[in-house]
Structure 1
């Protein structure tokens, strides 16, 4: 199928914008490849230190004639998605031996859970944990004793952080190895219902806790289609998984064989073989566009409007929100997964999953079919579903239509002809909005605003009945430089309650919303942020704000002369406690959200 002209045009726009930085990146990776990364070129004392921690592989490592795979792991047993990785390294060493390779744990990276920290002080460390993970990945791979790497991570900041760090070692072949989602608990709709009842004071804390535990009940990724599971969809589209690896459940034979196949595949794509596929060449402009396309086609997390630009920058590629906006106009919505539907990711997988969506997008010329992939030979392989036949891994073609067209649609009968993302611009700055789960009669909201400096103050006002009216809730000083740009997930239930009461409600913030943001229109990632002079800091209680996703506008309806003369509000003092003061340097140097909200990339000039 011929590539859609708008996909081609956006890709060309990115290539032209990135030309200088991408060329510099590829030149650096070529120098890295030729600068002594082969272990035989390292000193004997250096190698002895690298081999001292292993007994069973030392003789094989001494030979220096086979690939040594560095395992970078985000394992911890507090985070359900990463608890599954406990036994992976020892299994992967066996599978590496099968493939004539060796494997060592190169290092660990931190993996915090946004679900635990939502609404509390720890959430202000969340975005910058991505930079910390990237730097930790670089530390792990800096020993130069690896010819490839396996990246064990799934959740919100972990996959982007692993990739950002890994791409600075872009001369090495690498794969992401997921662990899969937990099996389905209670329905997501029921979980949301109990949350809203609790927000109204109609459910007890014990009832809420029982509901939450029924939803989040075992090892594996959370089952809603938030940032973590959007990560998996994008890794498939970028060719960085074994095809179809995203949503096989933990502790199954299929999951085990997919991981085994990943280790064997890494041994096949090293630079000493005939099929060298370094990650810095796999993640090119085509891969970035493919990731953006599948994100839009599935109604994925708005957090990737920050993460994907940051990932791209680490590979010398420059993308912006206009690229997303243009792609969204031609990419149809092909999946209804909670919060954009009632099904969870297990239902999504059963109905066809990522591979079905990729098949349809390739069929319509909406993805780059010629993109280089690491996990298999071609992008077409990612349009087939993995299965077991006599305990051996095979891939099968999909039927013409999914097993549940209410969850996964074909290109001929999409849920929407567009992907549901818009840029909003106006005298308040530049923001994004995800409308794939928002009823079209709420794409435009015009109402007096109520201004807050933190989400707890919003909750207090809600409980006091002060928001029982048409209202645009403004939460400022939530950007990267102000407080690390936490997700404002705890606003979802109260705003949902207000909307259910029939009020016209919207959120405007320079912060992030949850990766599972849904039915309430939310202008998020507003840039420039309040700290440092963003116009959101000029808003006062009672100013009428107009948000229009249809026209792509976000305006304070204030007399222009008065608006120009109005002063910024004072910023709150820097927060202390829960280690937040240790991240002051990151807050000070962070870029705007559209550039990835990264202190590290900004400081490096990337």
Structure 2
């Protein structure tokens, strides 16, 4: 093992000792009670299987065959989740005669692509916690011996995982849908977006380009939070090996779904290969997740989500853990927005199996972890294929088939993963530099302060930003308005960068998987409405952002004594359901603690 990976793992384990032991004790107690439905009263059990067939009822009365609970984020509006419609019946058919399966419950699945720049985006981050709670409600009937989580996108998978960890004694498999086939090339999509930002093409041309990109059932093909989710589930051993990026509607996709059901049915406490998710998601698995994230240039959203997931398992992650791991993990992938290829190209170039083998060989991943399919991560260095109608696995390609997309650890795109922590008199923030050119990684320029991305866009259109500038967008943290993503800033700031200006973004909001070529200090904590120093920045203040030294400072000697200009958030309190989330805004922790509204004692 690389010594830094060992050091970070050891310190996570040390700081988490008491809380992790408490969590493991709780799931051990739940397991010791045996098959849960065996403790239900006759009336309880009758309610639980009233709609089942006679043979299913007979199986559920007994305690020898496992019953699987299916939790799904299916809806037919969102392309990523539309393929999940038929999964419950496929799962039931796959385990017939060996187990029973019931659809335990549905969870909401909202799309950041649909709500981007809209009011609904202010519910997005909190939807993760709603999904976690809905997952817990789905599993609360004590009818199940294992669970299958059907979900794909941004907040859905972290929410499902947090909810599943609340039932950590249950073996749990995550079952993805896969990416849609490739559409309009990403370079062309980016070109049209930038032309639209410059006013050189109209909405008609922009919509045509977007529709040609997002065009079929399946996950969006760029490497944002959704596809980063799928990578994380694999490297943590919670998928069937190679399941992440197989297209929906294919025989291989159906075979992997059936195999996931059979595997989790064989991992219950009723058999001799018990694999509870609460034991699998341990300190080593989480370090592996961070390694996978930074090696692939994944979404900065996971510097929030993984902290919240870890807390649900009694483990304390910190941003410095991400930075230290990133500092020794080479960047092995160039997938849009950190390159021009999409995840289908990544899969064709060698895919996840190639990536895992390279990271294992470089001593950057813990081998000795418990996964869904066995002890050790080597199985995830393989890829699935169909031999006739039989699902089998083989070693991933020995060489990358496209070095512009996927590289070996001996010849990386960059020596580090690109996620860094910035700190100084403005607090602490995250920046991803994997797509930022070295010439743009140190910026010192006057600030222009805004309280919304729409105000930034107007200033750009009015020509006010055509200069060296650090755009400061405050009042975008979780307590202020739910921490919406600020993707709509990317085209305008990219134009300014291309015109030769020194440009950076500083915000207490999020940019997520769309973090690109403009240096962006995001997730700044404390946030403005918590009286963070960002609330005391004034137009014209000189801000220095230095990704090499980790510095984020405003050159204002009187900063500490200035009166805070805290944004007025009253316009964000109602409408589009926001009034229902007032409690979330009041209870939510800071971004550096996972922006969670649960308040796990001793964790966040």
Same fold (TM over 0.5): yes
The aligned counterpart of 1:156 is 154
The aligned counterpart of 1:351 is 349
In the TM superposition, what whole-angstrom CA distance separates every residue of 1:396-454 from its partner, at most 9, and x where no partner exists? 11333111122110011111111111100000110010000000000001110100001
Does the 8 Å CA contact 2:353/2:395 hold for their aligned counterparts?
A: no
Aligned equivalent of 1:569, options 555, 565, 568:
565
The aligned counterpart of 1:430 is 428
Is 1:449 paired with 2:447?
Answer: yes
Aligned equivalent of 1:178, options 143, 153, 176:
176
Question: SS where residue 275 of structure 1 aligns?
Answer: coil
Give 1:130-209 correspondences, 5 Å limit: 130-209=128-207
The aligned counterpart of 2:96 is 97
Is 1:387 paired with 2:391?
Answer: no
The aligned counterpart of 1:241 is 239
Does the 8 Å CA contact 2:311/2:603 hold for their aligned counterparts?
A: no
How far the C-alpha of 1:376 sits from its partner, in A, is 4.1
Separation in 2, partners of 1:534, 1:81: 37
Separation in 2, partners of 1:32, 1:264: 23
Does the 8 Å CA contact 2:64/2:270 hold for their aligned counterparts?
A: no
The aligned counterpart of 1:542 is 540
In the TM superposition, what whole-angstrom CA distance separates every residue of 1:330-353 from its partner, at most 9, and x where no partner exists? 100011111111110000000011
Give 1:591-602 correspondences, 5 Å limit: 591-602=589-600
Separation in 1, partners of 2:95, 2:238: 18
Separation in 2, partners of 1:573, 1:485: 12
Does the 8 Å CA contact 2:531/2:566 hold for their aligned counterparts?
A: no
Deviates more, 1:372-381 or 1:471-480: 372-381
Does the 8 Å CA contact 1:590/1:602 hold for their aligned counterparts?
A: no
Separation in 1, partners of 2:422, 2:400: 34
> Size of the alignment, in residue pairs?
601
Question: SS where residue 24 of structure 2 aligns?
Answer: helix
Does the 8 Å CA contact 1:313/1:601 hold for their aligned counterparts?
A: no
Give the TM-score taking structure 1 as reference length.
0.98
The aligned counterpart of 2:65 is 66
How far the C-alpha of 1:52 sits from its partner, in A, is 0.8
Aligned equivalent of 1:495, options 493, 496, 503:
493
Is 1:333 paired with 2:325?
Answer: no
When residues 11 and 604 of structure 1 are mapped into structure 2, their CA distance, relative to the original with a 3 A threshold, is closer
Separation in 1, partners of 2:250, 2:277: 28
Deviates more, 1:111-120 or 1:35-44: 35-44
Question: SS where residue 260 of structure 2 aligns?
Answer: helix
How far the C-alpha of 1:605 sits from its partner, in A, is 6.1
How far the C-alpha of 1:42 sits from its partner, in A, is 1.2
Is 1:363 paired with 2:381?
Answer: no
In the TM superposition, what whole-angstrom CA distance separates every residue of 1:127-173 from its partner, at most 9, and x where no partner exists? 00000000000000000000000000010000000000100100000
Question: SS where residue 393 of structure 2 aligns?
Answer: strand
Separation in 2, partners of 1:123, 1:342: 26
Question: SS where residue 80 of structure 1 aligns?
Answer: coil
Separation in 2, partners of 1:55, 1:449: 67
Question: SS where residue 473 of structure 1 aligns?
Answer: strand
Separation in 2, partners of 1:319, 1:101: 37
Separation in 2, partners of 1:250, 1:515: 22
Question: SS where residue 387 of structure 1 aligns?
Answer: strand
Does the 8 Å CA contact 1:314/1:601 hold for their aligned counterparts?
A: no
Give the gaps of 5 or more residues in structure 1: none
Give the gaps of 5 or more residues in structure 2: none
Separation in 2, partners of 1:222, 1:14: 34
How far the C-alpha of 1:59 sits from its partner, in A, is 2.8
How far the C-alpha of 1:54 sits from its partner, in A, is 1.9
The aligned counterpart of 1:554 is 552
Separation in 2, partners of 1:143, 1:489: 40
When residues 37 and 479 of structure 1 are mapped into structure 2, their CA distance, relative to the original with a 3 A threshold, is farther
State the superposition RMSD in angstroms. 1.2
The aligned counterpart of 1:109 is 107
Question: SS where residue 59 of structure 1 aligns?
Answer: helix
Separation in 1, partners of 2:128, 2:116: 16
Is 1:303 paired with 2:293?
Answer: no
Aligned equivalent of 1:518, options 509, 516, 519:
516
Give the TM-score taking structure 2 as reference length.
0.98
Separation in 1, partners of 2:494, 2:351: 28
Deviates more, 1:281-290 or 1:45-54: 45-54
In the TM superposition, what whole-angstrom CA distance separates every residue of 1:28-58 from its partner, at most 9, and x where no partner exists? 1111112364322211111110101222622
Aligned equivalent of 2:216, options 218, 228, 243:
218
Is 1:55 paired with 2:87?
Answer: no
Question: SS where residue 33 of structure 2 aligns?
Answer: coil
Separation in 2, partners of 1:37, 1:571: 52
